[in-house]
């Protein structure tokens, strides 16, 4: 599985911890930046990860900023993205199973590194369950096409 990672300065440190963790597990990583803890604007990285997912360069993405809110909003502006801000593993499980989320958003100032890695592992281990949830995800996609 290939995963795109993107973060602003607030998420830079956690992005690197997640990257190291995923590389040790054998995942292929596309690092979309930022490359330092110097001030950087989160929309750029949310857009980059979103485009990497929708262009099929990667299977899923992970985006990180201070709270996860801004970067998830930015990623969700990319047509076809369903970025889910998760603060625990149950949310990550449901984001994948029920909402077919293709990007996980995290807040580096909200969750600690240990919890973040557990959330990431859960997100990557779970797949979309389909069934009645397909109808709901399709409704979102159809509305998106009409905008």
Q: What is the pLDDT of residues 53-88, one digit of tens each?
A: 999 999 999 999 999 999 999 999 999 999 999 999
The domain covering 2-146 belongs, at the CATH homologous superfamily level, to Sugar-phosphate isomerase, RpiB/LacA/LacB (3.40.1400.10)
Does residue 98 carry a catalytic annotation? yes
Token look-up 């956690």 returns 14
Does residue 65 carry a catalytic annotation? yes
Q: Which of 65, 86, 133, 147 is catalytic?
A: 65
Token look-up 């369903």 returns 82
Q: Could you read off the pLDDT of 20-50 as tens digits, one per residue?
A: 999 999 999 999 999 999 999 999 999 999 9
Q: Which pTM does this prediction carry? A: 0.95
Q: Where are the domains of the chain?
A: 2-146
Instruction: Name beta bridge partners: 9.
Output: none
């Amino acid at each position: 599985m290939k995963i795109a990672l993107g973060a602003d300065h607030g998420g830079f440190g956690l992005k690197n911890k997640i990257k190291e963790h995923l590389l040790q597990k054998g995942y292929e990583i596309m690092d979309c930046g930022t490359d330092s803890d110097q001030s950087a604007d989160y929309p750029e990285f949310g857009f980059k990860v979103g485009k990497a997912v929708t262009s099929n360069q990667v299977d899923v993405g992970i985006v990180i900023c201070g709270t996860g809110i801004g970067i998830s909003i930015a990623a969700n502006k990319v047509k076809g993205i369903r970025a889910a801000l998760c603060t625990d593993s149950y949310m990550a499980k449901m984001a994948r199973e029920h909402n077919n989320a293709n990007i996980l958003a995290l807040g580096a100032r909200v969750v600690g590194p240990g919890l973040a890695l557990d959330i990431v592992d859960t997100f990557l281990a779970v797949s979309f369950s389909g069934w009645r949830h397909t109808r709901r995800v399709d409704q979102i996609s159809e509305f998106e096409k009409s905008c």
